[in-house]
Homo-oligomer: A and B are copies of this chain.
Amino acid sequence: MPRVSDMKKRLTDAALDLMWANSYGTTSVDAICERAGAKKGSFYYFFKSKSELTAAALEAEWNKNKANMDALFSPTVPPLERFDRYFDYVRDRLAERQKACGSILGCPILSIGSEVSTQDHGVRATVDRIWDRKIKYFESAIRDAHAQGLIVAPDSDAKARALFACYHGTLAQARIQNDVELLRDFKLVARDVLGVKHAYATSS
């Protein structure tokens, strides 16, 4: 096995960076190559199209985040607190990124997914897959909260999907208005969606 290269990773990193900050459509293969320090030939050696690279970039992003998600949604954390920690984590990360690029970027999966969903079946399928994996964290926390009598949510899947959609709507709004403050109160909205009984609301 001669010669190993980190170019594949550099390309997916560059692609996600640019597409998240701007959009799929305005991110050219040339720009991705330039940021990754690659030439055209290398790009098409690793990926057979921009579409395929995008799917790979989203999967890579998921893999980068998975360990954090596992920690945030660890069963050792009280279920409702998992959400609070997660929302804080995402907000902090977006705020930090805003310092670097000037914008609140929202969720790349949603932005890119919404942009290409009617046109690129491959990327859409990838988005769907990642979406489902992420929802599982929500679902399991909801099931635990229900079992502990903190909320009433017999249909944990539906509840998880509803909360996930609400959260992503808020992230999209934060991106459009470039305002991180819109994320500050989401914990309260989440409590409403979850139907948290007042007595059990976590303090933070």
Interface residues of chain A, those whose CB is within 8 Å of chain B, are 21-26, 103, 105-106, 110-111, 113-119, 124, 127-128, 131, 158, 161-162, 164-173, 175-178, 182, 185-186, 188-189, 192-195
Indicate if the CB atoms of B103 and A111 lie closer than 8 Å. Answer: no
Q: A166-B166, A169-B172 are in contact. List 15 more A-B contacts (CB 8 A).
A: A23-B23, A25-B26, A106-B114, A114-B176, A117-B175, A117-B176, A127-B176, A131-B173, A161-B182, A162-B185, A162-B186, A162-B192, A165-B172, A166-B170, A166-B193
Indicate if the CB atoms of A115 and B168 lie closer than 8 Å. Answer: no
Q: Indicate whether A119 sits within 8 Å of B22 (C-beta atoms), given known contacts A177-B128, A192-B192.
A: yes
Indicate if the CB atoms of B185 and A158 lie closer than 8 Å. Answer: yes
Closest B residue to A168 using CB positions: B169
Residues of chain B lying within 8 A (CB to CB) of residue A119: 22-23, 26
Indicate if the CB atoms of A22 and B185 lie closer than 8 Å. Answer: no
- CA–CA, A194 and B111, complex, Å: 27
Residues of chain B lying within 8 A (CB to CB) of residue A131: 173, 176-177
Q: A139 to nearest B CB, angstroms?
A: 15
Indicate if the CB atoms of A178 and B22 lie closer than 8 Å. Answer: no
Residues of chain B lying within 8 A (CB to CB) of residue A176: 110, 113-114, 117, 124, 127-128, 131
